[in-house]
Structure 1
Amino acid sequence: MHPTQDDPVAAALSDRIGGPVGTRAGRHPWWTPVRVLLALTAIVLALGMVQKSSCYQDTWQDGQARYTHMCYSDLPYLYTGRGFAELNWPYSDDAQVRARYEVMEYPAGISYWAWGAAHVTHWLNGSPDLSTRYGQSVGDMSAQPEVRREMRIFVIVNALGFAVLTLLAAWLLAGVSPRRPWDAAAFALSPALVLTGLVNWDLVAVVFVAGALWAWTRDRPLLTGVLIGLGTAVKLYPLFLLGGVLVICLRQRRLRPLVTSTLAAAGAWVLANAPAYLSGPEQWKVFWSFNSDRGADLGSIWMVVQQALDRPGDAFAFDPHTINVGSWLFFGLWCVGVLLIGLRAPATPRLAQLGFLVVAGFLLVNKVYSPQYVLWLLPLAVLARPRWRDLIVWQAGEALYFAAVWWYLGGFLAPASGGDAGFYWAAILLRLAAELYLVAMVVRDIWAPRHDPVRATAYVALPAPALATPRL
C-alpha cells in the first residue's frame, strides 16, 4: 500500500505534488519502492557525513566546535586512545600495550569492527612504519600529522562501512512486510541517521536487528537466533528480541521455534566472543565490569534525580549498586508487563511491537542514555508504529535532546548564578516523554488491533514463508 493512501501526514504532504496516489497510477519500470528507499537512505547518510564535516576538517581537535557544531564522534578519539593507531589487538594482555592503552570498553563485535577498520586505515595510508610510535607517549604520537590523517581516514572507513550496513538494514526492513515496503521510509529518512549515525558504532547492531525481524517473518527461527546472537555480541539490546519471540511462541503454543532461536542466539554469541575471551579473558570482562561500576550518566533519569536532589551539605547520592538494583528491578517489572500485554492481547502482537516495548523499557531506566541510543529503537519503532505523526513526535524529542546534550557538555546551559543546568534536565524529561508517547501508541495498537496500520492491510505477523523478498 502506498503511504499517501494510508498515512494522514503523507496524504496531506502529497497535496503539493498532485495528491494521493490514485487507483490508476502506474508503476515506474525501474524505480521500485525498495530502490527509492535505498536512494533516500544513501542521501540521508551523505547528509550525516556532511553534518560532521566541520569537526572532520580539524580532526576533532577543537574542543568547543565539537559542541557548538554538534559534530562530536567517539571514533577519532578511540582510534588513538585504545591503541588502534598501533594496530594493537583490543584484547591483548601484553603488559606494554596495557600500560599505554586502556582496554576497549565495548562488546567484542564492536572491537572486532574497529580493529578491522584500523587495518584498512593503515593500508589506505600506505602501511606506515609503526616502530617509531612505540617510543613516544600516546599524546605525542596522536599529535603527529600522519596520525591525524589516519584519524580522519578511520572515520571515513567506518562511515562507508556504516553506509553499507544501513542500506542493507533498509532493504531488510522493507521486506519485513512486503505489502508495506514504504514503512521503511521512516527509517531511511530519519533525522537520527543524520545526527547520530557517526557518533559511535551502534549502526553495526542495527543491521542485525533488522535482519532478525526479516528472518522471523519468513519462518526462519534458526537464522533469527543467529542474528540476535551476533547482534548481542555487538550491543546487548538485540538479546531483548528473544522476549518478543517468547510471547509469540507462548501464544501460538509453538515452543520449538523458541528453543531453536534461543539456542542459536546463545551459540552465535559464544562463537562471536570466543576469539576475544580466549586471547584475553580479563580484557574481555572489562565491558561487563565497566558497565556494572558506572554511575548515573548523561541522558538518564537517574542523573536528573541525583542532580536535583544532591544539594550542598546533603549526603544524598545514587551509588552504582543502587542504580543497578533499581534499574534491573524496574526493567524486570516492565518485561512482566510486556509479557502480560502480549499474552492477553486480542491478537498475537508483532515481533517489532514487542521488541520495541522491551528495548524502550530498558532505555527508560538505563543509567546512561547516550544520544546515539535512539538507533537502538529506530528499526523497531518504524515497524511497530508506522505512522509519520507519532514517529515525528518521538524523533522531535530525540533531536531536542541531541542539541541539548552538546550544549550541556560545552557549558552553554549552565546558569549564570552557577548550579546545574535545568534546561538539560528538561530536555531529558521531554525525550523520555516523547518515547513514552510512542510506547503508549504501540500498546494501544496491541490492545486494539483495529488501530494497527499493518493489520489494517491484512498483514499477518506470524512467520509467513510464502512472502517474497522485495525486488530491487
Structure 2
Amino acid sequence: MLARAVPYLPLGVVAALGAALAYVVRLPCRTGGWNDQVSTYTNFCYTDIYPLYFDRQLATQNPYFAHVPFDKQVEYPVVLGEVMQAIAWVARHLETDVVAQAVRFYDLTVVLLGACLVAGVLLMAAVAGPARRWDALWYAISPAVVLAAYINWDLVAGALSMGVLLAWKRQRQVLAGVLLGLAIATKFYPLMFLGALFLLTLRTAKWRPFLVTLGATAGAWLAANLPFMIFAWEGWRRFYVFSQERGVDWGSPWLFFQNKGWPVLGEADPSTLGMVSLALLCLGIAVLTLAAPRRPRLAQICFLALAAFMMTNKVWSPQFVLWLVPFAVLARPNWKPLALWQVAEVWYFAAIWLYLLSQAPLSRTDLGIGDDTYFTAVWGRVITIAIMMAFVVRDIFRPDKDVVRQDGVDDQAGGVFDGARDRFTLTSLAR
C-alpha cells in the first residue's frame, strides 16, 4: 500500500504548494482590502467568500431555514450551502467580532478548498493511470487554477467529480452514483457527465452499470435535497429560481452580442439562446460518439459536454476554469493548446477586474479598461477552448492521434467501457 502511495506524494506536495500560492494571491485583500472595492480589483484578489458571510447573513442564521428576503438566501445547491453554514458556525464560535468572524470564515474555507484541490489532484492522477499521472500537475499548479482557486467554492465539486471518475474507473458504480449525486447537489455542472455515461452506454450496451449509477445518483441527490424541499422550500428553490431568472452576466459571449446590439443574438432571450445552442452542441456530441470509428474515451465526452455547457451559459465566471482543467487534461494532455488556453484564462482573470473598475458605480476609467479590450478576453477563452474541442474531435475520428491511446490504453477512466465491444453505432444502424 505504501509503495503504491509513494508516487503520488510529490503530486500532493505540488498541489499543496498551489493551494498556498492561491492564498498568497489574496493576502492583500485579507488584510483589509475587501472593504475597498478599488483596492480589491487593482490587487486582483476578489473572492465571494468574505462578502457572502455578511450578504447571506451567515453570521446569525441558516439562510435556508430563516425568514430572510429572497435575495439574501444562499443561491447555491444545498450541499454547498450547508458547507458554508457549517464553517460559519465554527467561525462564530472562534470570534466575537463579526468582521473577525468573516476573516476566520474565509481562512477556514480556504483550508477546506485547499484540501479539495489536493484531493482532486490525487484523484485525477489515479484516474489518469501510472503512464500519465504527472498530467495532474496542470490541475495542481497551473496559473489559472492558482488565480481562481479561492474565488468561490468550486473546488469542492471538483474533488467530488474526480472521485466520480475514479469510482467509475474501478467499476464501483454505486459509489460513483453517490458521489455524482452529491456533486450535482454542490454545483450543477456535473449533471453533464450523466449524458456522457449514457452515450457510451448506448454504444456499448453496458446498461446495468449505468442504471445502477443513475439510481445511486438520484438517491444521493434526493437524500441531500429532500429535507430542504420539505422544511425549507423557499430557501431550497432559491438556486433554481435564481438560475432561471438571472440575466446575461460577465464572461458570457451573449454579453458581447447584447453590448454590440447584434440582430437576433443580441436581442433574443439569452436563456432560450443558451438552451438551444447547448442542445445543438449536445446533439453534435451524441452523433460524434455514435459515429466515430472507435468508441471515444469517457474523459473526451465529459470534456466536450462540459465545454459546451460553459460556452453557451448566460454566465461564465473566472472560477469556472476550475471545472474544466482536469477534464481538458484527461481528454487531451497536449501542452501547447493547454498553455494557449491558460494564457487566455489569465488574461480574462485580469481583464474582468479591470473592466469592473471602469463600470458604475466605481467608474474609474483611469484604472480600468473599456468594452472592446474586455471582450478580447471573453473571446480569447471561447476561441482557445474551441481549439481544444476541435483537437479532441480530431482525436476521436483519428484515434492514432490520441496521445493517451498511443500509450496502449483504451480508456483510462472507462471502467466497464474500457475494451468494450460496440453494440450500437450509427454505421451499424445504417447497415
TM-score, normalised to structure 2, is 0.90
8 Å Cα contact 2:337-2:384 kept in structure 1? no
Candidates 328, 334, 344, aligned match of 1:397: 344
8 Å Cα contact 1:414-1:421 kept in structure 2? no
Match of 2:321 in 1: 374
Match of 1:446 in 2: 396
8 Å Cα contact 1:109-1:233 kept in structure 2? yes
Match of 1:68 in 2: 42
Letter in 2 for 1:84: L
8 Å Cα contact 1:218-1:465 kept in structure 2? no
Q: In the TM superposition, what are the counterparts of 1:217-366 in structure 2 within 5 Å?
A: 217-309=169-261, 318=267, 322-366=269-313
Q: Deviations over 1:283-329 (max 9, x none)?
A: 2111111111111110001100000117xxx999646xx21111111
Determine the C-alpha separation between the residues in 1 that align with 2:106 and 2:228. Answer: 23
Determine the C-alpha separation between the residues in 1 that align with 2:311 and 2:148. Answer: 18
Indicate the larger mover: 266-275 or 362-371: 266-275
Candidates 115, 118, 126, aligned match of 2:85: 115
Match of 1:37 in 2: 11
Determine the C-alpha separation between the residues in 1 that align with 2:324 and 2:55. Answer: 29
Q: Percent identity?
A: 36
Determine the C-alpha separation between the residues in 1 that align with 2:231 and 2:63. Answer: 10
The alpha carbon displacement at 1:394 in A equals: 1.1
Determine the C-alpha separation between the residues in 2 that align with 1:419 and 1:65. Answer: 16
Q: Deviations over 1:194-237 (max 9, x none)?
A: 11111011111101110111111111222222111110001111
The alpha carbon displacement at 1:453 in A equals: 1.3
The alpha carbon displacement at 1:402 in A equals: 0.6
Report the aligned-residue RMSD: 2.5
Letter in 2 for 1:423: T
The alpha carbon displacement at 1:193 in A equals: 2.3
Q: Deviations over 1:60-92 (max 9, x none)?
A: 111111111110001111001111111x11211
The alpha carbon displacement at 1:244 in A equals: 1.1
Determine the C-alpha separation between the residues in 1 that align with 2:27 and 2:256. Answer: 32
Q: Please state which structure has a larger fraction of its residues in helix.
A: 2
Q: For residues 422 and 148 of structure 1, do their structure 2 counterparts lie closer, same or farther at Cα, with a shift above 3 Å needed?
A: same
Structure 1: stretches of 5+ with no match in the other structure: 1-28, 129-145, 467-472
Determine the C-alpha separation between the residues in 2 that align with 1:116 and 1:399. Answer: 32
Indicate the larger mover: 35-44 or 282-291: 282-291
3-state DSSP of counterpart to 2:74: coil
Letter in 1 for 2:180: I
8 Å Cα contact 2:196-2:301 kept in structure 1? yes
Letter in 1 for 2:65: S
Candidates 31, 41, 60, aligned match of 1:57: 31
8 Å Cα contact 2:357-2:365 kept in structure 1? no
Match of 2:405 in 1: 455
- Do residues 430 (structure 1) and 387 (structure 2) align? no
Q: For residues 465 and 447 of structure 1, do their structure 2 counterparts lie closer, same or farther at Cα, with a shift above 3 Å needed?
A: closer
Determine the C-alpha separation between the residues in 2 that align with 1:278 and 1:187. Answer: 38
Letter in 2 for 1:184: A
Letter in 1 for 2:197: V
Indicate the larger mover: 70-79 or 29-38: 29-38
The alpha carbon displacement at 1:119 in A equals: 1.2
Determine the C-alpha separation between the residues in 2 that align with 1:81 and 1:57. Answer: 20
Determine the C-alpha separation between the residues in 1 that align with 2:8 and 2:370. Answer: 47
- Do residues 89 (structure 1) and 62 (structure 2) align? yes
Determine the C-alpha separation between the residues in 2 that align with 1:177 and 1:464. Answer: 16
The alpha carbon displacement at 1:465 in A equals: 11
8 Å Cα contact 2:355-2:369 kept in structure 1? no
| Bigger-Rg structure (1/2) | 1
The alpha carbon displacement at 1:110 in A equals: 1.3
Q: Deviations over 1:243-285 (max 9, x none)?
A: 1111211111111122111111111111111232222102211
Match of 1:159 in 2: 110
